[in-house]
Amino acid sequence: MGAVSLRKITKRFGGVEVLRDVDLEIAEGSLVVVVGPSGCGKSTLLRLVAGLEEATSGVIEIAGRDVTRLPPAARRIAMVFQSYALYPHMSVYDNMAFGLRLARHDKAAIRARITEAARMLQIEHLLERKPRALSGGQRQRVAMGRALVREPAVFLFDEPLSNLDAALRVGMRLEIARLQRELGATMLYVTHDQTEAMTLAQTIVVMRNGGIEQVGAPLELYRRPRNLFVAGFIGTPAMNVLPARVSASDSEVTLLTIAGGGEVRVSPLAGVRAGEHLSVGLRPERIRLGAREGAPSGDAALAATVAHVEHLGAETHVYLNTAADAEGKSHPLTASSREPPDVQPGQPVTALFPVGACHLFAADGNALSTPAGGDDGDAAAAAERSTAAPAPPAGS
């Protein structure tokens, strides 16, 4: 297995710059997930590492070797695609053996590798079948097996689960994570699904507009987002973001007035002056609905109206609209709770939240402060619930 290093990688298609000055270090034996909206450059980044595209400038190293101008076959990589890319006229065994035969491995070595990979992926009983006789989950396992037998330095995954239904995606995430632990493999995984990223990654790379916004462990990004984009992209439901105005600020305290009527006192913010406009971020699980009377002294309150209620079993999401601000605008707010609140659409409510749970962002979107201990909401529990579903049977 090998580390991957990208230094000052830029990629242009004609006059369009898809990636610009990307620097990224992927440690040997780590599972790194690249996530971002459509068109952010994540798939292009993966194709550059694979050698399917050539960088306009910059250096790519795999296992300490400069592979920037090498063809894919010389890079010791194996790629798993969204489309499976199996040969329909070949059996599962022959699909898995194809690359090894091209590389002129002997029959005994090929059989040994395929037998071991099939055992790890629980597809021994499928080796004589053709792809048309397999389910989507089985085809993806075969595609993973074909990559596994090549014993590459780096595994590359290009949105491999997007064609599967929700239950199969959970099972395959568990399968990929298990394989990575067993093999100690270096894996670079691209997805648009931030839930997939949160539940699978050891490290997440968040991209936007051809650049990297933030790199870190899943809960680090959840609890300490560097800017509003990362804050809104990581987490389901997304972080609530409300406009706020600095009412007063001195060396002891900063007083903010939040859209919807809430007023909060926070630790002094350096360089912030009265009259400035900021944004306040609140995770949905930090908001509860109740009476202001009897609320803890460290809580702030917003007047709101219930717009919609979603009961999801383990959780309930309540979608709110805040009271109109000075400009007559209302702002959306989501509260998430494990105990379903007794509220109905159209009902006026009070949304309470600890002042210490506020993320503060400057007018340019960059973080000014995060909760002192990190956002200690239910991120870990949410991730745990997402991965706690049992894997589907081997034949799924």
Query: Rounded to whole angstroms, what are the CA distances from 292 to 299, 302, 327, 349, 358?
Result: 9, 9, 25, 10, 18
What does the DSSP assignment read for 256-304? EEETTS-EEEES--TT--TT-EEEEEE-GGG-EE--STT--TTEEEEEE
pLDDT tens sequence across 39-78: 999 999 999 999 999 999 999 999 999 999 999 989 999 9
CATH code given to domain 4-228: 3.40.50.300
User: 388: pLDDT confidence band, cut at 50, 70 and 90?
Assistant: very low
pLDDT tens sequence across 212-255: 999 999 999 999 999 999 999 999 899 999 999 888 887 777 78
| pLDDT at site 295 | 65
| pTM reported for the whole predicted model | 0.87
The mean pLDDT value for 379-383 works out to: 40
What does the DSSP assignment read for 79-137? EE-TT----TTS-HHHHHHHHHHHTT--HHHHHHHHHHHHHHHT-GGGTTS-GGGS-HH
User: Which residues, in sequence order, are CB contacts of 36 under 8 Å at separation 6+?
Assistant: 42, 192, 206, 207, 208, 213, 233
Average model confidence (pLDDT) across the chain:
88
**Residue ranges of domains in the chain:** 4-228, 237-374
| pLDDT at site 392 | 41
Confidence check: pLDDT of 389 > 70? no
The mean pLDDT value for 169-175 works out to: 87
CATH code given to domain 237-374: 2.40.50.140
Tell me how far the alpha carbon of residue 100 is from its chain's centroid. 33
CB 31 within 8 A of CB 187: yes
Percent of the chain with pLDDT strictly greater than 90: 61
| pLDDT at site 374 | 54
Same CATH fold assignment for domains 4-228 and 237-374: no
